Structure 1
């Protein structure tokens, strides 16, 4: 990161584009007002309820490895059951520069704020969107967020980057489920909402707010959204600073719209592995959101890959591959059996190490050899292993620091490779695919307790949270038997009372509430 800039508007400069036909990888520099310059390709952290999971603002200031954080509007709005007109707390946050979102989340000045309508990945809504609003999943459940309200909140919160509303179902199969008229309707609604946003933004006030607008591109075939893309490149271009790409398969088609090519591209088509990141970089993506970083940390896994990958010594045997790389270093015990996979007699290296494995219990090695992150320089595997087994919150904090640092080094290596030549980048990508396993380790550790706003369970899904306190097997059976007897006795008593006449003088065991339930004082008039 370089020095903070005082420019009055966002700027993106393509430093070098890899030569070739169609979409290509490119080096760039994204400059946001009052924020450090972001060298691209790069990534942004993902927040939950306005906080990067397990990382406090002071920890980010001292050891953070990212220059921006993505926040969801659904994390910040609530509908009070007592007062439906209640203004969200974030909209009333006092601040000296008008950037209420940044002040509310207490992020360091070096971290840019990116505001979108929903989380990445988002929970699928039970009902669809309408012509004026989308469904968002707040802490009080699903509720509509109108385009007008969202535009007003953008003007009030003043994030560094804002992503307008798009008519999406936020499902992994949304594009395949929507056919014909459904996709056309999605494009028409999004175009209408973009037009409303364009009209509401004053050309003089937009630079003063230091908010850059990244227009969404939709997960739809080009023949169905060509008109929308044409409007972006012709009618809305003066208010746009970038593109928010929901489906990277549309990137090759952007060659048809030259005015959109210089804009930075933020992908919301979240990659699930480093291999997917490299593929999207090859398509021309500049900035990434990576949900798998938080998920891997929660699973107790320390990322161990690097780009370019290390070249093993020709004299070494396949069994020594883990010693020659930054993936495994267990001097006192053999590596866990799940860390390597053999394919066509070639041993693939794991993308990460599960620190809950017992072999780490006595290892004094860093998580990854030669890693310069705070976790690896100040702690060792045995300590993290102990913290994970004890379910200490510090375990996930240290893993987050390491994994975000690993991703920062990964993108730094990508930029260095791109700066060399196209051939070098392609060679490094091919070597990476041959060196590492295609999937990240699942992790066998117990994850932090999941919250209701993170997911919505479907019929037949297993419980996300393990029951902490429960009766022993004998106690469970005894409790069921006792409860069954009590229910049976209560049912017998109710049947007996229903069959008997109401006594003239109630007994001592009958209270007033029960008399009311039995109809005392009610007059029933029967008509002939």
Structure 2
């Protein structure tokens, strides 16, 4: 069944393969006029400063099949408003996206822009009536709704996720605060819609540059507490939005019927494939999945498929969802990361080599694991779409839960060297993420372990062998 979007049909189209009931899995095709096409259910690659972590843009083109990416505006506007960020200095030719050109993204890849990273780092300062708090490479700042709308007009991605007033990191949210969330989000949606609607008034319609589609946020509160906002979405904005950004998958049951036919992008981050399957069973279409990069940073190669391999009825131990490449058992293994995987890492390299790269702190190790993990997710979603089309999704989900463990393997080794901007803040008094590169010159006998926090002492021996021991030898 073909269902056009509510707004201009030449921009974004969403075609469901068959009619579905609420709270049931659905498959379809999401196509943008730029040439980007995604078969749903599927996922968007989460970027850091416009690139998938560990994957350069040339490897993105050659060795991945990622059809869409999510880009956070807070990655690029560290100097705003005191200075114009470099992102805004790049001018794009007519009918092109300056953001796409800035991050060297292929034209056939769907480009989705949001205000915050996924998942966002909680900010100490609260949102205001006109702005949200963000984390940039130079610290916490704020961006106003008007500035965000202006950024969407200037950068012209394929899809813009509306700005939502969500107090990330706050465990308990009062009723009055929830009412304020609804009021602010409704106002901010009007800002971005009015900014987009004003674009075509300055030029003739036939000469207008391609605009962007808007995904309206659905807040993680009950329908009753955001009923006023939902009423305005249906009554005043439904013709201007092309999709929904869902922050709580449980709310799919409470969506107004007027919003049921448009695509749904999940920001209710699943922590395992089983929780991902649960959201799909409710009718979610697109996903942002942080556990892909988290597994890569931990040196874990994902290893699961959907549907799972067939097994006999005899009891057996559940299979792990991934392979911990830090384990010494892989040091002489010539097997690929996954037997049935045909990605670049599995066809060109073996486990022993990749474990050696991790042990030597070579970034290529994490690059190969990241390529592999995205290939596993591509095959996983392809199996899901086939299962939905063949009407076996429910049985396949039960088989998956019976075959695989519930959680991903726990991290046992070290991840890549982290930077403060990439690491979650834990509050006042937290220790430094990385050990110091040099000792104090006036105290050469100071023990390195005394300068490190307890969590960093594990790295002290390596650093002493590499740099500090050499300095002591020269001093003697």
Is TM > 0.5 for Structure 1 vs Structure 2? yes
Q: Is the 8 A contact 2:37 2:108 kept in 1?
A: no
Q: Counterpart of 1:8?
A: 10
Give the structure-1-normalised TM-score.
Answer: 0.78
Q: Is the 8 A contact 1:17 1:24 kept in 2?
A: no
Q: Counterpart of 1:456?
A: 425
2:361 matches 1:362 = no
Correspondent of 2:172 among 169, 177, 183: 177
Cα distance in 2 between the residues matched to 1:198 and 1:36: 23
Q: Counterpart of 1:142?
A: 140
The structure that has the greater radius of gyration is 1
Cα distance in 2 between the residues matched to 1:470 and 1:384: 33
Closer/same/farther in 2, CA of residues 479 and 68 from structure 1, 3 Å limit: closer
Cα distance in 2 between the residues matched to 1:447 and 1:470: 24
Q: Is the 8 A contact 2:249 2:266 kept in 1?
A: yes
1:109 positional shift? 2.0
Residues 265-314 of structure 1 show CA distances to partners (whole Å, capped at 9, x for unaligned) of 00011111101110000111100001110110111110000000001256
Residues 396-437 of structure 1 show CA distances to partners (whole Å, capped at 9, x for unaligned) of 11111100000000000000000001xx11100001011111
Q: Is the 8 A contact 1:12 1:29 kept in 2?
A: yes
2:41 matches 1:41 = yes
Q: Is the 8 A contact 1:8 1:208 kept in 2?
A: no
Closer/same/farther in 2, CA of residues 462 and 65 from structure 1, 3 Å limit: farther
2:239 aligns to what SS in structure 1? helix
1:239 aligns to what SS in structure 2? coil
2:51 aligns to what SS in structure 1? coil
Correspondent of 2:401 among 420, 433, 436: 433
Q: Counterpart of 1:338?
A: none
Q: Counterpart of 2:300?
A: 301
Query: What is the alpha-carbon root mean square deviation over aligned residues?
Result: 2.3
1:224 positional shift? 0.6
Closer/same/farther in 2, CA of residues 260 and 436 from structure 1, 3 Å limit: same
2:26 matches 1:56 = no
1:82-481 to 2 correspondences below 5 Å:
84-96=81-93, 97-171=95-169, 174=170, 176-202=171-197, 205=200, 208-254=209-255, 257-313=256-312, 346-421=316-391, 424-454=392-422, 455-459=424-428, 461=430, 463-465=432-434, 475-476=445-446
Cα distance in 1 between the residues matched to 2:292 and 2:71: 16
Q: How many residues align?
A: 432
Cα distance in 1 between the residues matched to 2:429 and 2:316: 40
Q: Is the 8 A contact 2:153 2:195 kept in 1?
A: no
1:198 positional shift? 2.2
Cα distance in 2 between the residues matched to 1:479 and 1:196: 53
Q: Which has the higher mean CA deviation after the structures are superposed, 190-199 or 292-301?
A: 190-199
Residues 116-167 of structure 1 show CA distances to partners (whole Å, capped at 9, x for unaligned) of 0000111111111111101111111111100000000000000111011111
Q: Counterpart of 1:487?
A: none
Closer/same/farther in 2, CA of residues 231 and 367 from structure 1, 3 Å limit: same
Q: Counterpart of 1:497?
A: none
Cα distance in 2 between the residues matched to 1:304 and 1:17: 33
1:137 aligns to what SS in structure 2? strand
1:200 positional shift? 2.2
1:416 aligns to what SS in structure 2? helix
1:204 positional shift? 6.9
Closer/same/farther in 2, CA of residues 302 and 46 from structure 1, 3 Å limit: same
1:235 aligns to what SS in structure 2? helix
Q: Counterpart of 1:29?
A: 29
Cα distance in 1 between the residues matched to 2:235 and 2:179: 20
Q: Which has the higher mean CA deviation after the structures are superposed, 182-191 or 28-37?
A: 28-37
- Can you give the 5+ residue segments of structure 2 that lack an aligned partner in the other structure? 1-8, 451-476
Q: Is the 8 A contact 1:91 1:156 kept in 2?
A: yes
Residues 75-96 of structure 1 show CA distances to partners (whole Å, capped at 9, x for unaligned) of 010227xxx5321111121222
Q: Counterpart of 1:73?
A: 73
- Can you give the 5+ residue segments of structure 1 that lack an aligned partner in the other structure? 1-6, 318-344, 481-528
Q: Which has the higher mean CA deviation after the structures are superposed, 455-464 or 393-402?
A: 455-464
Q: Is the 8 A contact 1:71 1:116 kept in 2?
A: yes
Cα distance in 1 between the residues matched to 2:87 and 2:164: 23
Residues 54-75 of structure 1 show CA distances to partners (whole Å, capped at 9, x for unaligned) of 1111101111121011111100
Cα distance in 1 between the residues matched to 2:448 and 2:192: 63
Q: Is the 8 A contact 2:322 2:409 kept in 1?
A: yes
Q: Counterpart of 1:499?
A: none
Cα distance in 1 between the residues matched to 2:397 and 2:429: 41
Cα distance in 2 between the residues matched to 1:219 and 1:128: 17
Cα distance in 2 between the residues matched to 1:478 and 1:305: 42
Give the structure-2-normalised TM-score.
Answer: 0.86
Q: Counterpart of 1:520?
A: none
Cα distance in 2 between the residues matched to 1:418 and 1:105: 35
1:461 positional shift? 4.7
2:39 aligns to what SS in structure 1? strand
1:483-522 to 2 correspondences below 5 Å:
none
Q: Counterpart of 1:486?
A: none
